[in-house]
A and B are shown apart, each in its own frame.
Chain A
Amino acid sequence: MSATLASPAAAAARPVTSPGGGRRKAGRISAQVFMLAAAILWLTPIVFAVYVSLRPEKETNRLGYVSIAHTLTLSNFTTAWKQGEMWRFFLNSVWITLPAVVLTLALASGVAFVVSRLSFRFNIALLILFTAGNLLPQQVLIMPLYRIYNDIHLPSFLSDSGLMYDSRFGLIAINVSFQLGFCVFVLSNYMKTIPIDIDEAAIVDGASLWLRYWRIVLPLCRPAMAALATLLTTWIYNDFFWAITLISTGNKRPITSALANLQGQFVTNQNMIAAAALMAAVPTLVVYVLLQKQFIAGLSLGSTKG
């Protein structure tokens, strides 16, 4: 934004620096050409996939993907939806993503509140612990985690396998634990920017620690929480690795990892796989269209800390 809000002084200075003027104009044109080319390159694979998914397999087998379409149809989408039982995987995703996002935010905001509001000795150690945990490659954890998940028994209402392994509960647990670090980091930075005087007024009024967290600090964090919720929803929904390694029953997989099963199921029909994959992207595309600002704000909060 800052560039478009350049002050009058800078704007007035521009014509004066005429030696660079011609070059600057050439630069602007080449920047425009470069960005246009990049945008076309970036869109091509997506447009191509949509085009292929709208065409019957028989036709593309005869003509190839790069050809004029004789028929455009949604049948790949409907067949994938029915035969691939996509609704089931969508539901799985909803039941994993929603609880995981809510839990992560609830737990992370608690830690962030204590770390940013109370001074106790291990504050920074705690922050480092959480932040570093989120930076580890997932593969570093998976061997012992796999075994731990096979050792923890759960009551049948939490897991029909009776184990943490291959259960929705287990997948939520690891997503929450793993994403906690990032959210604690972002929220604690955000809370530190909220003046402590606001709390102090409440303390004078005799508010308990819980009330200060729940009624005062948390509502003030709404913008950060909204941004994080958008990020987390997308990340957890898009998670592939945890679901592939910790869920063995195909039916229980959330949609992103189920794409791997569908690949096997429609092995010869790439058009249908493309249709299924594009359908799976719909929720993230909704986020992209409606909440892009929130998403970007979340990333910015994580990367620029004041």
Chain B
Amino acid sequence: MSSSSPEQVRLPVAKRRRRRRSITLTRRDKLVATLLVGVPLLLDLAFVWFPALASVALSFTKWTGIGSVSFTKPCTKPAIPGLPAKDGCFFGVQNYDRAFNRYPDFWPAVQHNVIWLIVFMLVATPLGMLFAVILDRGIRGSRIYQSVLFLPVMLSLALIGIIWELVYSPDYGLINSVLGRTGNNDQISWLGNPHLNLWSILVEAIWRQAGYVMVLYLAGLKAVDPALREAATIDGATTWQTFWRVIFPVMKPINIVILVVTVIESLRAFDLVYITGKGNPVRGLELLSVLVTQNIVGETQQLGFGSTLGVILLVIALVPITIFLYQTFRREARP
């Protein structure tokens, strides 16, 4: 099912618009339309957009989540030191101050998120694109290769974390056995050593992400007009030249989709780390998403501070989201 074939029967925009206006709706039709849009809209607003905006508001408060929260009443020193205030209070930018200046896990988390993103950009995505380009040329066995490389995309990240624990196991695992490092004194702790574990987890993440990018890119490649490629071949262009000079530029929309997917997936990275640490924080694997979650499933709930970390994540996420929306809806907004 290629999405480009029905596209060809699309009516010219001007013609479509004129026709649309001519349709008159009965009162009942209007009610139906309102319900069809209204119910999903309400859900989206209540459970996605309201929480997203409320995060911003809560990030300026100090709140354990118990009782109510006030956005006007400033926080005061508790009467008895050490006893947490019952209701939430306005805390100004102190959560941000704490995150940036006093929270020891914050900068490592930012650093790890950045490393994650860079590795996805420089390794996982190009690898997936390379797979796609090779498969698109139709080498022998490409269907089997595609299936194999795509398999991890179907698996949950929780499962992927568990599978790789066997590979990385210090005393019995595949890698240490091959390296002959399973002895008690020379074991390599791939997932425990804070200088190593981020890279080990990234291998797991690449293992999945490359297949994902491959499928997306393959879809884009198939939508490219074959005539372009033929023309380039006839002109004597090499495969490499054909790809970089002809195919890659016409694939700008899909390149942006992949860029957005890459950034968003790097920010969402959570499951692998959570499963690897069995729910506990692991030194070397701090990520913004994990820090947010620790403030809610951890022992002490700090809705205010957790929201602050969430908002920082939101601000970063808005960059790729805006790029994607601009690219996608720019054409339609024009009359």
Instruction: Identify the A interface with B (CB < 8 A).
Output: 1-7, 9-10, 13-14, 17, 20, 23-24, 27-28, 31-32, 34-35, 38-39, 42-46, 48-49, 52, 60-61, 64-66, 107-108, 110-111, 113-115, 117-119, 124, 126-133, 135-148, 150, 173-174, 176-178, 180-181, 184, 189-190, 192-197, 200, 203, 208-210, 213, 223-224, 227, 234, 237-238, 240-241, 244-245, 256-257, 259-260, 263-264, 270, 273-274, 277-278, 280-281, 284-285, 287-288, 292, 295-297, 299-306
Q: Which residues of B contact A260 (CB under 8 A)?
A: 158, 274-275, 278-279
A132 lies within 8 A of B172 (CB): no
B1 lies within 8 A of A227 (CB): yes
Known: A38-B149, A145-B51. A303 touches B216 (CB 8 A): yes
A108 lies within 8 A of B40 (CB): yes
Q: How far is the CA of A5 from the CA of B328 in the complex (A)?
A: 30
A193 lies within 8 A of B49 (CB): no
Q: Which residues of B contact A136 (CB under 8 A)?
A: 48, 52, 314, 317, 321
Q: How far, in Å, is A24 (CB) from chain B's closest CB?
A: 7
Q: Which residues of B contact A178 (CB under 8 A)?
A: 47-48
CB-nearest residue of chain A relative to B144? A39
A299 lies within 8 A of B268 (CB): no
The contact of A119 among B20, B152, B264, B275, by CB within 8 Å, is B20
CB-nearest residue of chain A relative to B276? A263
Give 8 CB contacts A-B under 8 Å.
Answer: A20-B236, A31-B139, A52-B166, A144-B55, A240-B275, A288-B151, A303-B219, A304-B254
The contact of A146 among B21, B131, B303, by CB within 8 Å, is B303
Q: Which residues of A contact B311 (CB under 8 A)?
A: 140
The contact of B264 among A108, A131, A137, A145, by CB within 8 Å, is A137
Q: How far, in Å, is A175 (CB) from chain B's closest CB?
A: 10
Q: Which residues of A contact B23 (CB under 8 A)?
A: 118, 200, 203
Q: How far is the CA of A114 from the CA of B31 in the complex (A)?
A: 12
B36 lies within 8 A of A113 (CB): yes
B139 lies within 8 A of A28 (CB): yes
Q: How far is the CA of A264 from the CA of B162 in the complex (A)?
A: 12
Q: Which residues of B contact A241 (CB under 8 A)?
A: 270-271, 293
B253 lies within 8 A of A304 (CB): yes
CB-nearest residue of chain B relative to A288? B154
Q: How far is the CA of A4 from the CA of B226 in the complex (A)?
A: 10
CB-nearest residue of chain A relative to B223? A304
B9 lies within 8 A of A193 (CB): yes
B137 lies within 8 A of A270 (CB): no
The verdict on B123 contacting chain A, using a C-beta distance below 8 Å, is no
Q: Which residues of A contact B320 (CB under 8 A)?
A: 135
Known: A135-B317, A234-B154. A270 touches B36 (CB 8 A): no
B229 lies within 8 A of A2 (CB): yes
Apart from A111-B40, A260-B279: 8 A-B pairs, beta carbons within 8 A: A10-B229, A35-B139, A139-B268, A139-B289, A192-B10, A193-B9, A284-B155, A303-B257
